[in-house]
Amino acid sequence: MSIWHAPFTVDEINQRFNGGLAAHLGIQISACGDDWISGTMPVLPRVHQPMGLLHGGASVALAETLGSVGANLCVDYTRQRCVGQEINANHIRGITDGIVTGTARAVHIGSRSHVWQIEIKNAAGQLVCLSRLTIAVVDSR
């Protein structure tokens, strides 16, 4: 059973949520299913920390982007918006180049809050970062 408020395509998601930090980091939604959404981010020097590894903040930006987009697709966007309230991340494995793919799945979808878990993996399918995002569901103004 689908958790989404209305049907959509990956292209529609990328058009609707294009811009800002996600665009600067090269984040793109790449796939989705009935209860998950995935996106990619290239690991280039602009997302490195001083030691040449993927910056933890860039991983968190990917995680929050995926969880926030997923949450906003679960509500009636004419009446409500979903915004990040708290996020944590465990950085498991370093990566210096390539592409990382994050997959966000809802752990809880309530009327006023959501909790999403996001796994970010490298091209070999190894876990790079595990994140949990709490979302506040607020009324549109």
Predicted TM-score (pTM) of the model is 0.96
- Could you report the per-residue pLDDT of 59-115, keeping only the tens digit for each? 999 999 999 999 999 999 999 999 999 999 999 999 999 999 999 999 999 999 999
Contact 116, 132 (CB under 8 A): yes
Q: Which of 12, 64, 86, 119 is catalytic?
A: 64
Max intra-chain CA distance, the chain: 44
The answer, yes or no, to whether residue 1 has pLDDT greater than 90, is: no
Contact 71, 33 (CB under 8 A): no
- Could you report the per-residue pLDDT of 9-48, keeping only the tens digit for each? 999 999 998 889 999 999 999 999 999 999 999 999 999 9
The position carrying tokens 């209860």 is 35
**Ordered domains of the chain (ranges, CATH):** 10-139 (3.10.129.10)
Mark whether 64 is an active-site residue.
yes
| pLDDT band (50, 70, 90) for residue 129 | very high
What gap in Å lies between CA 64 and CA 77, rounded to an integer?
18
What are residue 128's DSSP bridge partners?
none
Query: Token pair for residue 36?
Result: 């998950």
